[in-house]
Structure 1
Amino acid sequence: MDVDGLGQKLIDQLVEKGLVKDIADLYALTQDAFASLERMAEKSAANIIKALENSKHPLLARFVYALGIRHVGEHIAQVLARNLSSLDALSQATEEELVAIPEIGPEVAQSVISFFREKGNRGEIKRLQKAGVTIAETSKKLEEPLKGKTFLFTGALEGMSRDEAKDLVEQLGGEIASSAGKGVDYAVKGKEPGSKYAKARELGLTIIDEEEFKRLVGVK
């Protein structure tokens, strides 16, 4: 899951204190629990609680990637989400169905099947759902209205994380640029944009804000 402000050092502290054992445990933590951590101010603790709440509605690809399935990185998670309609469809897919998906070979297929066969893994997913995590599912035959379009993101978004926005672009057929260049079709400007924004302006790129981006991708 993509939670702003929750880095590896904080997670290590939570594990050492016995406060979390898996992802689902994070959603049961209180602001006081985070505030008790080393070098954690009340405001920072409050921001993490807010970020956890905002992370409860991930796109299917982001959720699948966060599960930590062996051989399933960000790109393969995108491929699976683009070709399967829901987490249920993925968890029940046969090896034959999985290897029929472009870029999915027998090794990845077996890894996915083995993951969902494990009782502990299924239990963790149920705990996440009980904590209020709901997955934004996609159509099995997803259209790609952004095919051929390249997006650059600079600055913080309010309604979704940068990673979620990037996932959405890729699921709709678009591509992500890491730096400003003539090949960028849209530069999406969030709060406190950095040097990429200045470069985008210098190059005369089309710059849109978060609301314009949401309208473009069909998100309310």
Structure 2
Amino acid sequence: MVTLLICAGAPETRSALERIAVSVPGLDRVQSTVDVVEAGAIVRKEPPDLVLLDAQLPGAGPDTVRRLVTSLGAPRVFMLGSRDDYAAMALALAAGASGFVRPDVSSVELAALLAHVLSGRRVGGAVPPEHVVAAQAAAQVPVQRPVLTEREVQVLCGMSEGRSNAEIGRGLYLSEDTVKTHAQRLFRKLGVNDRAHAVASGFRLGVLS
């Protein structure tokens, strides 16, 4: 039996996710809770195959993710969170989350994501990449810490705070194009392709804290 646990605070969020989940082929059971502690108890008692965890809930941090993914049954955990909260994405991925689902994901896309993950496949290009940050890139972080310039570190810090290139530029008295150039060099050094994975690498390498 394939099961899903939804842990979200807002009733409308839970209801919406439940409606989406019942449309997923092969999903036999959907449970929901508003409390992170209760979610942990459910996972220990009847481990689900997949957990959708609202990142805005009290206690829904990396420690909780780590406890869930290392518990008996090792469910896959996806975080529900803000589009621009790159720091939260990075911490969740580093703690073992399978991905980060943004709140503007459509019902069709989320249903496709659930079906994809529950089929046992990794999240990758077949699932809308603009809505899901896959955990697999976290494993591609170089073992040796790359040498970043002071400016590149400043740009990375700005990314971790969810700032746009223009906002980072204003704070550093740089043009947006200059910030983009620093970002591209930063991505190459870290071996990543986007902001979220750059921030994840920054935390894993100790550049960010």
TM-score of the superposed pair, with normalisation by structure 2: 0.26
Larger Rg: 1
TM-score of the superposed pair, with normalisation by structure 1: 0.25
